[in-house]
């Protein structure tokens, strides 16, 4: 091997080169300089960390340098493909802007002045600040807020740390993603199901951009199969719309009217699956009465979708062999979100679409022998800050928006510190001005990331986690219709002074004590290898090491409810078309439509949504993806743009009702509903260590107002009304 580590590091740290090729390839060219004539080639299977899908790949490593990541053909979710983002991940270890060692802030927050620190120094600094904060609050450990998105370490080590530390204040990703969807489907079916989209012959996608958001082989197969009808309902002409049979640019926030009218037609024409309803459902009579007046003509007024089309879709859907009204994923849009999802669940229920091929299928997962950490009980333990603000608050997930509001008012107690792991809260939580107000009240902000995100940029201590291609992660059960267990193993040696999550949290724990003076480090037993050896069998571990995953070998798990192996996990044990539980809580027991607010003259509803080559805020600065899309632009309907005197390429200022604003290039287009505007996430960064997106384009969180849905606690991303002004 002729590439020494030092030489490689020198190469990768060089500034933008003159090679004129895709930037990521440039790093690898630099890394591979002076390659030997008989290179050492090896393949390592591992799993992608660039989005939640965790596709398993086969990584090709030549002379210790990653050359490419190929999809693992046997892995059910990836089969023959890896998306653009997954491919671009190959170069992240070599990105000169990655985090390389612990940093402690020396200047003001956000000034970007740091000193390099050893891990011991960083841990000690964190522990001193946190212990002082807890003391200042009379021993109340709830004063530290824990924040994380999903990921392989999040589940046990990070949560484990929080559990033994003793704060109930955890905020996880569902609160800014899909908790309203989960709650809506749970209230009807008792679980949040998957959709067997490959085998369904009639699919309604309302607010689900599969072709960009879950661009996997089954999505391709879904579009590719003959004889299939796909109805796309979206205020934007997305890639999914382009691939669908029909697209309807619905008035935003009116999906429930569409769903209720579908139910109306199906019941009026007696197209329902009465046998399924009689055997599995409760509340049918109430639902039938409820939708009596939800006619297609009424729904046309609300949704903008012609009545004749609604009627036709309802009929075709009910008569199809395997229809599915896709549940969607991200769901925090409008105020009535939980009820909207319930109405969508009910459209499925009345045609008997439950636990069958081509339909909705309850989640399956493979269990592993994980030993959860037992919580330590502290005398001053306090309930979650926002415990009273949300009807169905999930204690393990929390609710970001009311939590932040309470923290700002120190109501009922003060939050003094934030431990943030793998969530870029400055960009991912609406209304970043408010997030900064929260930061201003903190004695200590710790951020564990792999890059200098906007959140890390404003933190006091930044801890660099080891890149996913250099790291060993524990086995992770991936649930779905065809469940599997995946894991990550290093393709290359660790290049910098970084640590994997397991080490970070188990080592940090040793700097804290419980009330009896016992080290919290005692709760973390064993190395990551010890965990792996106990969590799965030797044979399974061997499979993980060679293939990067294992399954039960039984293929899709469909039909357990119908075979009597699985109950319906609602309070009544039935599919609930009417919810006594909701009624008892003073909530509407049936989905009641409420017309969303119209933006008003000269104003727009601001929408967010996925982009095929980006993951949230994370990838916009990946050189090879940024090369395709150097900045974002705001979609404005052509007619509305003309009214404003705005042309494509003009700069506009977008301002919300609370003064939040950002400036961005305009893109006049027919591809968006006249009431709405949209731009992609990840740009307009504040972190100077993300130079490709620093100050380039606009940030969604600068423009999003804070709203939440009080049944599930989901932050609402489509309740923002903005004004556009040419600058
Ligand atoms: N490429 C890529 N893929 C991803 C991710 C990513 O960041 N990038 N993130 C992953 C994650 S965490 C999630 S949660 C999923 C999200 O996956 P999806 O939910 O499929 O994707 P989104 O683009 O968030 O939202 C879907 C669509 O809803 C539309 N919409 C907005 N308002 C309305 C409305 O009122 N009615 C209707 N019918 N439609 C509306 C938007 O225009 C958008 O096109 O994607 C996952 N996959
Ligand atoms: N404005 C806006 N906000 C949104 C959404 C939106 O569409 N627009 N969508 C919402 C949805 S659906 C979701 S799921 C959430 C997602 O919210 P986030 O989880 O905050 O999403 P990301 O922007 O991907 O940020 C993840 C952070 O983790 C870092 N990271 C990546 N890999 C690793 C790793 O291995 N270890 C560590 N420690 N860090 C790592 C990345 O560098 C990045 O800073 O955002 C929600 N918020
Ligand atoms: S869908 Fe793309 S980014 Fe997500 S895990 Fe798979 S390859 Fe990675
Ligand atoms: Mo999400």
pLDDT digits (tens, 9 = 90+) for 595-631: 999 999 999 999 999 999 999 999 999 999 999 999 9
Residue 23: predicted pLDDT: 60
Which residue ranges in the chain fall short of pLDDT 70? 1-36, 154-155
Tokens of 375: 């919580």
Q: What is the distance in A from the centroid of ligand 2 to the CA of 681?
A: 10
Q: Which atom belonging to ligand 2 lies closest to the Cα atom of 700? A: 1
Residue 601 CB neighbours (<10 A): 6
**Whose alpha carbon is nearest atom 40 of ligand 1?**
207
Residue 485: predicted pLDDT: 97
Residue 116, helix vs strand vs coil: strand
Q: Which of 232, 210, 198, 256 is nearest to 313 (CA)?
A: 232
Residue 182: predicted pLDDT: 97
**Whose alpha carbon is nearest atom 2 of ligand 1?**
213
Both 645 and 679 in one domain: the answer is yes
Q: What is the distance in A from the centroid of ligand 4 to the CA of 283?
A: 32
Task: Say whether the peptide bond before residue 412 is cis (omega within 30 degrees of 0).
Answer: yes
Residue 18: predicted pLDDT: 36
Both 400 and 542 in one domain: the answer is yes
Both 152 and 224 in one domain: the answer is no
- Closest ligand to C-alpha of residue 622 is 2
Both 319 and 380 in one domain: the answer is no
Is the beta carbon of 450 within 6 A of some atom in ligand 2? yes
Give the relative orientation of helices 501-509 and 119-136 as an angle to the nearest 10 degrees. Answer: 50
Residue 670 CB neighbours (<10 A): 11
Would the pTM count as exceeding 0.85?
yes
- Is the alpha carbon torsion for 216, 59, 501, 415 positive or negative? negative
Residue 17: predicted pLDDT: 37
* CA–CA dist 107, 113 (Å, integer): 5
Decide if 700 is inside a domain: yes
- Can you give the residue range of the structural domain that contains 263? 194-361
Q: What is the distance in A from the centroid of ligand 4 to the CA of 178?
A: 6
Residue with tokens 């493979």: 366
Both 392 and 536 in one domain: the answer is yes
Q: What is the distance in A from the centroid of ligand 1 to the CA of 203?
A: 16
Both 357 and 438 in one domain: the answer is no
- Closest ligand to C-alpha of residue 47 is 3
CATH number at residue 287: 3.40.228.10
Probe ligand 1: pick from 85, 179, 195, 213, max atoms within 8 Å of CB?
Answer: 213
Probe ligand 1: pick from 151, 176, 179, 207, max atoms within 8 Å of CB?
Answer: 207
Q: What is the distance in A from the centroid of ligand 3 to the CA of 330?
A: 17
CATH number at residue 621: 2.40.40.20
Decide if 394 is inside a domain: yes
Decide if 449 is inside a domain: yes
- Taking CB atoms within 8 Å and a gap of at least 24, the contacts of 577-580 are 577/188, 577/281, 577/282, 577/283, 577/284, 577/286, 577/287, 577/346, 577/349, 577/350, 578/282, 578/283, 578/286, 578/287, 579/187, 579/188, 579/283, 579/342
Decide if 591 is inside a domain: no
Residue 192: predicted pLDDT: 96
Q: What is the distance in A from the centroid of ligand 3 to the CA of 78?
A: 8
Residue 38: predicted pLDDT: 84
Decide if 590 is inside a domain: no
Residue 7: predicted pLDDT: 39
Decide if 315 is inside a domain: yes
Decide if 624 is inside a domain: yes
Residue 453 CB neighbours (<10 A): 29
Decide if 565 is inside a domain: no
Show which of 30, 64, 94 is a domain's final residue: 94
Both 205 and 240 in one domain: the answer is yes
Is the beta carbon of 212 within 6 A of some atom in ligand 1? yes
Tokens of 659: 């003064």
Is the beta carbon of 625 within 6 A of some atom in ligand 1? no
Tokens of 281: 């459902």
Residue 32: predicted pLDDT: 65
CATH number at residue 528: 3.40.50.740
Q: What is the distance in A from the centroid of ligand 3 to the CA of 51?
A: 5
Both 499 and 352 in one domain: the answer is no
Q: Which of 468, 499, 493 is nearest to 65 (CA)?
A: 493
Q: What is the distance in A from the centroid of ligand 2 to the CA of 619?
A: 10
Both 336 and 454 in one domain: the answer is no
Q: Which atom belonging to ligand 2 lies closest to the Cα atom of 178? A: 12
Q: What is the distance in A from the centroid of ligand 1 to the CA of 328?
A: 8
**Whose alpha carbon is nearest atom 13 of ligand 2?**
177
Q: What is the DSSP string of 11-58?
A: HHHS-S-S--S-HHHHHHHHHTTT--SS--EEEEEEE--SSTT--EEE
Cα–Cα distance list, 242 to 223, 236, 474 (Å): 10, 10, 39
CATH number at residue 70: 2.20.25.90
Both 214 and 271 in one domain: the answer is yes
- Is the alpha carbon torsion for 670, 672, 676, 678 positive or negative? negative
Q: Give the 3-state DSSP-derived string for 506-548, with helices as H, strands as E and coil as C.
A: HHHHCCCECCCCCEHHHHCCCCHHHHHHHHCCHHHHHHHHHHC
**Whose alpha carbon is nearest atom 6 of ligand 3?**
55
Both 619 and 710 in one domain: the answer is yes
Cα–Cα distance list, 481 to 228, 320, 363, 410, 475 (Å): 20, 21, 6, 44, 19
Residue 614, helix vs strand vs coil: strand
Show which of 535, 551, 567 is a domain's final residue: 551
**Ligand 3 pocket: which residues have CB below 6 Å?**
48, 50-51, 53-55, 82-83, 85-86, 216
Pairing of strands 281-282, 444-449: unpaired
**Whose alpha carbon is nearest atom 47 of ligand 1?**
213
- Closest ligand to C-alpha of residue 613 is 1
Show which of 361, 380, 412 is a domain's final residue: 361
* CA–CA dist 712, 175 (Å, integer): 8
**Whose alpha carbon is nearest atom 7 of ligand 1?**
615
Q: How many domains does the chain have?
A: 4
Both 426 and 407 in one domain: the answer is yes
Q: What is the DSSP string of 474-513?
A: --EEE-BSS-EEE----SS---SS-B-HHHHHHHHHTT-B
């Amino acid at each position: 091997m002729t590439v020494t580590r030092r030489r490689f590091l020198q190469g990768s740290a060089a500034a933008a080169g003159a090679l004129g090729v895709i930037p990521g390839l440039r790093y690898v060219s630099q890394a591979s300089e002076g390659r030997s004539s008989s290179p050492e080639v090896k393949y390592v299977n591992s799993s992608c960390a660039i989005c939640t899908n965790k596709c398993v790949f086969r990584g090709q490593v030549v002379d210790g340098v990653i050359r490419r990541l190929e999809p693992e053909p046997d892995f059910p979710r990836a089969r023959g493909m890896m998306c653009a983002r997954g491919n671009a991940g190959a170069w992240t270890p070599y990105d000169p802007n990655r985090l390389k060692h612990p940093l402690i802030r020396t200047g003001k927050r956000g000034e970007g002045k740091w000193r390099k620190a050893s891990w011991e120094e960083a841990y000690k600094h964190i522990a001193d600040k946190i212990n002082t904060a807890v003391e200042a609050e009379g021993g109340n450990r709830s004063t530290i807020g824990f924040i994380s998105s999903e990921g392989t370490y999040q589940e046990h080590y990070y949560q484990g740390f929080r559990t033994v530390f003793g704060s109930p204040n955890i905020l996880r990703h569902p609160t800014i993603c899909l908790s309203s969807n989960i709650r809506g489907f749970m209230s009807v079916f008792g679980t949040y199901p998957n959709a067997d989209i490959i085998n369904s012959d009639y699919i309604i996608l309302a607010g689900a951009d599969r072709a960009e958001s879950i661009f996997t082989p089954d999505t391709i197969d879904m579009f590719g199969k003959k004889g299939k009808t796909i109805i796309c309902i979206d205020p934007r002409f997305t890639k999914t719309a382009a691939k669908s049979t029909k697209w309807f640019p619905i008035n935003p926030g009116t999906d429930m009217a569409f769903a209720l009218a579908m139910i109306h037609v199906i019941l009026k024409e007696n197209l329902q699956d009465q046998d399924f309803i009689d055997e599995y459902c409760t509340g049918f009579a109430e639902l039938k009465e409820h939708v009596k007046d939800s006619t297609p003509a009424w729904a046309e007024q609300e949704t903008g979708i012609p009545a004749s089309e609604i009627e036709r879709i309802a009929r075709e859907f009910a008569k199809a062999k395997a229809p599915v009204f896709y549940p969607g994923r991200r769901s925090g849009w409008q105020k009535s979100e939980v009820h909207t999802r319930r109405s969508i669940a009910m459209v499925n229920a009345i045609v008997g679409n439950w636990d069958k091929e081509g339909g909705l299928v309850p989640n399956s997962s493979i269990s592993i022998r994980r030993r959860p950490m037992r919580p330590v009980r502290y005398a001053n333990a306090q309930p979650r800050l926002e415990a009273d603000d949300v009807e169905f608050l999930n204690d393990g997930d929390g609710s970001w928006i009311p939590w932040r509001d309470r923290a700002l008012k120190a109501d009922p107690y003060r939050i003094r510190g934030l431990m943030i792991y793998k969530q870029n809260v400055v960009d991912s939580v609406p209304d970043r001005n408010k997030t900064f107000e929260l930061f201003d009240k903190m004695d200590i902000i710790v951020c564990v990331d792999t890059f200098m995100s906007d959140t890390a940029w404003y933190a006091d201590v930044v801890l660099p986690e080891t890149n996913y291609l250099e790291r060993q992660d524990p086995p992770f059960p991936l649930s779905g219709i065809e469940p599997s267990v995946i894991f990550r193993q290093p393709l290359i040696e660790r290049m910098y002074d970084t640590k994997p999550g397991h080490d970070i949290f188990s080592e940090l724990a040793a700097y804290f004590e419980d009330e009896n003076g016992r080290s919290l480090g005692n709760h973390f037993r064993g190395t990551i290898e010890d965990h792996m050896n106990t969590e799965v069998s030797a044979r399974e571990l061997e499979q993980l090491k060679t293939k990067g995953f294992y399954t039960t070998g039984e293929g899709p798990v469909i039909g357990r409810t119908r075979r009597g192996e699985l109950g319906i996990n609602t309070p009544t044990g039935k599919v609930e078309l009417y919810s006594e539980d909701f009624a008892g809580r003073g909530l509407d027991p049936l989905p009641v439509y409420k017309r969303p607010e119209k933006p008003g003259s000269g104003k727009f509803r601001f929408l967010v949504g996925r982009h095929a080559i980006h993951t949230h805020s994370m990838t916009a600065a990946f050189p090879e993806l940024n090369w395709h899309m150097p900045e974002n632009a705001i979609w404005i309907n052509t007619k509305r743009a003309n009214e404003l005197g705005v042309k494509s390429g003009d700069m506009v200022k977008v301002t919300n009702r609370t003064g939040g604003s950002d400036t961005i290039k305009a893109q006049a287009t027919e591809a968006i509903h006249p009431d709405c505007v949209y731009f992609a996430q990840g740009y307009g960064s504040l972190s100077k260590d993300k130079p490709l997106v620093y100050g380039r384009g606009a940030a969604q969180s600068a423009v999003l107002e804070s709203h939440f849905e009080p049944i599930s606690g989901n932050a609402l991303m489509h309740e923002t009304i903005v004004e556009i002004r040419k600058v």
